Structure 1
Amino acid sequence: MASTQQTVSVEGHRLRLSNLDKVMFPASGTTKGEVLHYLTQVAPVLLPHAANRPATRKRWPDGTGGQMFFQKNLDASTPDWVKRRSIQHKSSANDYVLVNDLATLTWLGQTATLELHTPQWQFGRTGARLDPDRLVLDLDPGPGAGLAECAQVARWAREILQGMGLEPYPVTSGSKGIHLYAALGKAQDSRLDSDAVSAVAHELARYLESEHPDLVVSDMSKSLRQGKVLVDWSQNNGSKTTITPYSLRGLDRPWVAAPRTWEELDDPDLAQLTPEEVVARVEADGDLLAPLLEGHLSALEPTPERLATFQKLETYRTKRDPARTPEPFGPETQVSTSSTTGAGSTTDEPTFVIQEHHARRLHWDFRLEHDGVLVSWALPRGEPTDPAKNHLAVQTEDHPLEYGSFEGTIPSGEYGAGEVTIWDSGTYELEKWRDDEVIVTLRSAERGSRRLALIRTGGRDGDAENNWLIHLTKAQPGSPNASSAEPSPAPKARTGTGQKAQRPMLATNAAPGELTEPDDWMFEMKWDGFRTLAHVQDAETVRLVSRSGQDLTVTFPELAALADQVDPARLPVVLDGEIVALDRDGRPDFRRLQLRANLRKERDVARARARVQVDLMLFDVLQADGDDVTHRPWTERRELLESLVTPHAPVHLPPVFDGDLDAALRTSRTLRLEGVVAKRRTSTYAQRRSREWLKLKHSAMQEVVIVGWRPGRANSSVMGSLLMAVPDDGADGDGLRYVGRVGTGFTERERREITAQLRSMERKTPGASGVPTDDASDARWVTPKLVGEVTYADWAEGSDGASGERRMRHSVWRGWRPDKSPHDVVVEVPGQK
């Protein structure tokens, strides 16, 4: 760009670039030509973060030493090829530019647009406004504070966000502070609107302020900000915007809103970056914010074929309030692939489901997947089993495909209130589908195959227009009719002939100074998953048993691969390990593992397995060649394990650290694991908790028994917090002591699902002692049989001042522990029981 004016072609569009030698940044002498060159260099990383978001522009026609123009609406001089979307405001509609391509970005640079600001949401392909796909916190230092203080607040915020299942990414803003972004789609099964995300961010900001009042403030008032960092949560509001990553700043020098690493935030000389530095970093490291783009995946637009299904679900949705019922609401603007349905099909065959519905009157709901929805009939007398006796079928509104896997309680007062369970499900072969006749052959693993016909009997008008008959045809498939068969119960854990049930050895929290002799110990990573004993009986049979004796074999069928990885000459064997679900970086993600828990039916397992695969981390052996080896020292058992197993995915033998605790802890932190387990070299395998194995965690975690729940403030029909207890031999009643409540770490969908689950377990009295009056005032008590896990800050005296009563502070929900029962729960911190 040597000349002051050029005509260029960018992506097929001709642009006249003028005044290229005009100085845009007085202090550095940076010209418009250099600005345009920078935009060209960073376009590959800037555009993905700005695309499909309505951009607000800050323009400096005379450079940053002159007047700034704040512009939202496109004017008449805008080229017609610039993509745009309209937003209706209170008094007018504005057309906003979408910065989707290099040509548009170049045109913006020509118009002296130096700053691009975008919201946390996008427009969909059809022009619909999507829910936000990212959360942002703007850490803005007040007078007397700077980047170092912002970095400290960022680290505190990171701990909380990670506890919520969100991974934040830092950006030095190019001005004074730091922005933290987290992709919402990666951590959520259900979307949150802008108001909900703002509320979460606001609570996070207030929590940081309460924990660190000397450095953090969440109020916008300038009088409160001296020497502190404002955690500005408001930019999650749907009408607010944030500087786009990689955008320049309109200051005296051209600083950039630049993505950074967390290691950089630890640098005491942390500073804002120049365009030259940012370009060099992009060339070397690519886009550090690339993981943030994963939030977009859960907001993909449907194909035109799928758009037709939305109208079909209009009646379904008008009868239900998503805030009051746990029922699924189907696709809004999310994509749903044609080969996978809510009923769990991973084939090209359409699915069916029959749900037993204990509503005002017991009936069965018969649903067939057709044209993107579940076409539905209510069967007051169920499915017919005699060709001579037809049953009434009343056609109801179409349901979303996701309803095919729904089981739960529809709350009292809501449409269809009552308990819903799946009676049968599978795929079907379509023979005929007309407006007045449907003939199908159902194929079910549980109840066999049968051929059914649905025939409309009601007219097109009047009260009986939806009346049909369902008929079991005389001609049936060649396979025997199994309609009377009941589902097989889940297999129970078995032990070898003449052997008692085996239980895994458990570690104890390490006390200060307990590992003073490093040569006595070996160190392993602590994996965040479900503990299991793997019984390999022969070359084809693997059985997985949890800590509490539950059989996990059908839940994790892919781990049957272990049979091929054990030396066949050494069978049978019993191995100890942890089932984990790894994220894209190969790190265990307990929230992902929850999606595989408690599943027994083949179709449910197949559906979950398509989304989340699991791996098995092996670390000990209890039996080999059919002989008990638990009496041998750990060093011998480890050598034996390595000789028994030839690991490859999904089975692994993680390495051990030889007496170097510091190296083990560093590695564990780098891999973002839960901590380290120290094992005494001479330790035998005791099937109980022992101080021969010690665990060192990076953050405090505690398993808890759920004894009740409290309604949310915004929606009293949905759980706001869970009430927790731990076993205590001195406690009254059920032998449980109350230890506090947890109200963060849940998605909205999880809140609805947990509410439906707990409503069926309610009781009149608390199952724990020591519940303070404030927490008991609106509590809904439940039978204490479910175990969950939380992280927490520390233990403190109860607010009611009861002597010896201690509560966990600032708990964050991690998930259910279906592999454990209440009597397995142990207070992890010495002296707290």
Structure 2
Amino acid sequence: MAQTPQTVSIDGRLLRLTNPDKVLYPATGTTKADVIAYYVQIAPVMLPHLAGRPVTRKRWVEGVGTDKKPGEVFFEKNLPDSAPSWIRRVSLQHTSHRNEYPVFSSPADLAWAGQVAALELHVPQWRVDQLGTMQNPDRLVLDLDPGPGAGLAECIEVAHEARDLLSGIGLDPVPVTSGSKGLHLYCAMDGVRDADYLNAFAKQLAVSLEESMPDLVVSSMAKSKRQGKVLVDWSQNNRNKTTICPYSLRGRARPTVALPRTWDELDGDLEQLELDAVLERMEDLSDPMAALGHSGPDRLERYRSMRDASATPEPVPADRPADRRGEEPIFVIQEHHARRLHWDFRLEHDGVLVSWALPKGVPTSPKENHLAVQTEDHPMEYATFAGEIPKGQYGAGSVEIWDTGTFTASKWRDDEVIATLRGQDDGGLGGEPRTYALIRTGENWLIHLMKDQQADPPAELGAVSPMLATLADARSLGDESEWAFEMKWDGVRTIAVVNDDGVRLYSRSGRVTTATYPEVAEELAGLPAGTVLDGEIVALNEQAVPSFGLLQQRMGLEKQREITAARERVPVTFLAFDVLAHEGRSSTGRTYEQRRAALAELDIDGVAAITPPAFTGSLREAVAASRRWKLEGVVAKRRDSTYAVGKRSTAWLKIKHQEMQSVVIGGWRPGASSGFGSLLLGIPSEEGLRYVGRVGTGFTDAQRRELGAQLRRLERKTSPFVEVPRDVSADAHWTTPRLVGEVVYGGWTGSGILRHASWRGLRKDLEPDDVHVESKE
């Protein structure tokens, strides 16, 4: 009776199993389930010998049968369409045809082989790179195959003679009982010579062995010469030949295994071992052939030599690079504020991150090439590194991840790399695929954005957040010549997107606010399609000074009648201070000065939308002007900084005249009259909403009425705070923490409570999750 198929999870992959109790080895009763279990358990030592090698399979769908009646075997090179999509495929051209092979890299891949009764897995002596290009062989193999009248004992005798011969020329062979009749001898090679050379070299070795042991060795394939002798088969080094993979099962009457051995074992009672004995053996022994599974030079040797693991937070792995062949390759671009600002461009290749330093950043137009200086290979762990490298260490300075994701390489040569990068939606590349070419020009390289690959802004930018500034003081700047200064406007941050179908406005949290500020959308409609602006919407009082209190009369309005009336009473203006895209090409990877020049070219100078003039004086003069104009403060921006979408960056510093803090309302205490006397404030933390004090001043009567109504609708019985002082909670009323407000204050107490807080107003453009401590307590 057919068994019901079942789906199992193996190494995070879902695999559909059919007929797990089907017997594949009748002599031992070994089932398909036993085969799958073996391959999953042996995977840690077997996969290094499969990594990067196209796999040819021999399948016994109905089992291996018996010695008298062998089962039918299918020899399979092409990976069928029914195979799981997560198995890596590589297309290889042969003389007259092309085959699509699998490359196994995970226990789930091996489990699938067991599911389709692919008992024997055969691989060549060479690997393929990430592009599927055949590399030079990294190992040499001699197959010691006993003819009629000879057996394993004769193979062992020849193996010892071969070991002496190979050791004499600097090679250290590893013996492998083939799981059939004979032995294999493997030697690690440096990958310098091609397959034709190694095949000819292996033939010379076989002939030398025949000359030294004429009564026992034959190097000719002729069957008539093999009686009582051991054939030293050198031909498996041919680029078109394959050999049974170490730890693979064999399709013989019993489930024997091609098993790497120690030389000491060859002097004992040697026999071909079966799968259960192999698994038991590997519980106590390491892989005698492990070194061949990780052949090649240590590409991180230089990286380690340049770093002190005890003095830098950078990852400094002790082991060789991990083999990730079969995984989708990753990239990372890191903004590195070292002695000189630059961007580190890193692509995964052969288990490491091949790296270039870009002094001028990532190019944003095909018309410009940027210098790329190749640096040492970095470990894969560096792809997630961000932090501060201490002074005195190599590369001292701060490192931030500018963008990261996966890539596809269409070319990878020593002098040219072409890769299509797919980054994060909020990353520096703008979330769209970008194809770059890295071209060697003498000692250095150039990086080029391929034609027609300009960084187009996404069609919908509602999920893209603006770049945020870090609160600081004037002492944080250092050399003022590296900074530009702008006024800090007292309004709501807004992203404006101009497309063929009109203009859309987005709040900092991604909420569409186009209908709330129709005059801004109308005025920006004349800009070229594909323009994306960053700015602030403000409401000006009679002295032409931005008033947050006035702006609150426009914030959050949704009904057309209310918006029309408020538009006449409280007009607003969009102050454009940055450009993220122009005519469909992203500007986020360009420097501040380049973006500012592009913004000037747009000539935004109307009533409901203008570009404020750049401030040309010193920081002291900028602060003085801000005070004179009764503004919030100053924003200092590094002239060479790119636009970090959705990230708070030290490349932008806000210097305020008053300390301001966004807060979440978690409750209120009653006042002398009906209504609330003070609001209870909190800031989200990892533990929950942390109580940071209360505010009872700064409210207008209208604000008290509006807030009182909202608080009553949100009232709840339990406190939303992690902890609150007993004297505060005694008469407190609790509310669901949805409302965000802003206060000015005079500092923090030692226990983390706001001093002298005064209310500024609700922040309808912010969500509770947007709130964080804006200065040190």
**TM-score interval for Structure 1 and Structure 2 normalised by the shorter chain:** 0.3 to 0.5
TM superposition score normalised by structure 2: 0.40
